[in-house]
Chains A and B, each alone.
Chain A
Amino acid sequence: MVAHSAAADTALETKVLARNVNFYYGRVQALFDIGLNIPARQVTALIGPSGCGKSTFLRTLNRMNDIIDGTRLEGEIRLDGQDIYAPGTDVVALRKRVGMVFQKSNPFPKSIFDNVAYGPRVFGQRDRIRLSDIVEHSLIRAGLWEEVKDRLDHNALDLSGGQQQRLCIARALAVDPEILLMDEPASALDPRSTARIEDLIGELRDEYTIVIVTHNMQQAARVSDFTAFFYEGKLIEFGQTEQMFTKPKYKQTEDYITGRFG
């Protein structure tokens, strides 16, 4: 398959470049020859039916699949030109640059403050005043500050589902990443909380390169600049969201986004 290069079409800077990526869980191949340029400071949505490999692809970008035994990746994934699967790559440094928000909000059973301060502490930040600054700043950017500023010492698990997910976003922002990976970040939330997350993505898009996996076509259309459609482990189509949702090049894409299968 020819590598899709939407970024080149629109003269945008490429943040992540994937070439000929094959991925295996043991003997089962989950990704087939994926090639894709993710443009910097844009929102890229990965869509496709369950099991199509979109989450697997997302997790190759911060090497989260490494923690699963028996997985293997072929091909190359470059972040700002550097192969992140090259031998000797510092995975910790990579994950600092590539933050992640998970499908199910997963705050630590610690205080709100300690949740947000977790990342900075990992990287050696011990100064209480500096940490307070980072926590406040991150919570403000995640749109949660006003709701929690008086109870930073409360357990994060006492927050509502939507608040927990925004806390997880704040936690990811606290290490000042360049890329934010979001794996169906709103799928477990009610419509109002979902809207808040989507607004938040809109506010973060200028500063971060965001890659979001979603099952929700409307959401992809609302929040993303680019969309990649995955099907059975293959990248079928990649392009500007507007174009893909109005004039998809492939029949499969059209069928999926119009709800004929999936």
Chain B
Amino acid sequence: MNQPLMSDKAVCCTAKEADAMHTRKHRRWSDLIIGNGLRAGTYFIVVVIGYILLDILIKGLPAISWSFLTEAPRKGGVEGGIWPAIVGTFYLVFGTIAAALPVGMATAIYLSEYAKQGPFTRAIRVGISTLAGVPSIVFGLFGLGLFVLFFRFGASILAGSLTLACMVLPTIIVAAEEALRAVPQTLREASLALGAGKWYTIRTNVLPYALSGMVTGSILGIGRAAGETAPILLTAAAFFLPKLPSSVFDPVMALPYHLYVLATQHPAADKVQPMQYGTALVLIVLVLGVNLGAIFLRIRFRKRYKW
């Protein structure tokens, strides 16, 4: 009695199975293509980065020596070292940190903890992300107009640091706000419910857990500033200075600008090629070092807070 029904069912199942196998086969092909395509894209990036690093390493390493790192350039950069440029870059980076970190953190705390979420804060956020997309040369011109000329700082560490600070502010604000938002809302509520004020709550129960993320995110942004040429081109950098700057109102040499001049503006481009690569290598190691430092900091702190 059941016989016809059963066979009917069986047919239906095999048909379905065949269908399913067909789609599976189809899916396997598309998976293969897409998977490998994505993999190829990733490898391509690795190869490009690897080539750049290797090229700079091979050509730059011979130029590196103790005197290259510790002496001032001589004969228009053909001989000597890049010490003033290293020092100048450090000055600019520290100036940028000093200017951008407090303002960026304050903005992030305000936006995340205090500001009412509405059209006004939305406009501020749009402004911040727009700022992140502004080309760095525009920041350079802005710095030239505002800090160098209007405030009469001249081409100086101060003007350059402030210009770089404007450039990295969006990165810092976004990173810091993200870190603040990662702190569970329930902690804020628990603290407020115990009668703690808003600032007390932020100080004791938000900032301690967000600080590592805020700082590491900021360092990554500032690492980018260390390698920028355009913003300091018009506001801080000098090609050749025999002595180190003595105040924040002095111009400085800086690695990226030094590299730029050696590569494009120098009359004896062939002769300074080893210097170029040496400078590039030092700059890359410096920026990489900053980024690695930030990453280590993040790993260390992340282990301490878990929820």
Contacts and interface: CB of A to CB of B under 8 A. Distances in A.
Interface of A: 62, 64, 67, 69-70, 92-93, 95-96, 99-100, 102, 104, 106-109, 118-119, 122-123, 157, 168, 171-172, 175
B205 A108 contact: yes
Contacts of B200: 122
Contacts of A109: 187, 209, 305-307
A158 to B, nearest CB: 10
Contacts of B187: 106, 108-109
B235 to A, nearest CB: 40
B193 A62 contact: yes
Q: Report, nearest first, the 10 A-B pairs whose CB atoms are least far apart.
A: A106-B186, A100-B193, A119-B194, A95-B195, A96-B195, A122-B196, A106-B190, A92-B195, A69-B116, A109-B305
Contacts of A106: 184, 186-187, 189-190
Contacts of B307: 109, 157
A172 B200 CA distance: 17
A260 B189 CA distance: 35
A69 B118 contact: yes
Contact of A64 (B116, B192, B196): B192
Interface string B277-307: 0000000000000000000000000000111
A122 B194 contact: yes
A168 B195 CA distance: 14
B189 to A, nearest CB: 7
A149 B46 CA distance: 55
Interface of B: 116-118, 184, 186-197, 200, 204-205, 209, 305-307
A107 B196 CA distance: 15
A171 B117 contact: no
16 contacts: A69-B118, A92-B195, A93-B195, A95-B192, A95-B195, A99-B193, A99-B194, A100-B193, A106-B184, A109-B187, A109-B306, A118-B194, A122-B196, A171-B190, A172-B194, A175-B194
Which of A64, A92, A123 gathers the greatest number of chain B CB atoms within 10 Å? A92
Contacts of B197: 92, 122
Contact of A102 (B117, B190, B204, B205): B190
Nearest to B201: A122
Contacts of B191: 108, 118
Nearest to A90: B195
A102 B186 CA distance: 8
Nearest to B190: A106
A67 B188 CA distance: 10
Contact of B189 (A64, A92, A93, A119): A64
Contacts of A168: 190
A8 to B, nearest CB: 30
Contacts of B189: 64, 67, 102, 106
A104 B186 contact: yes
Contacts of A69: 116-118
Contacts of A100: 193
Contacts of A107: 190
B194 A95 contact: yes
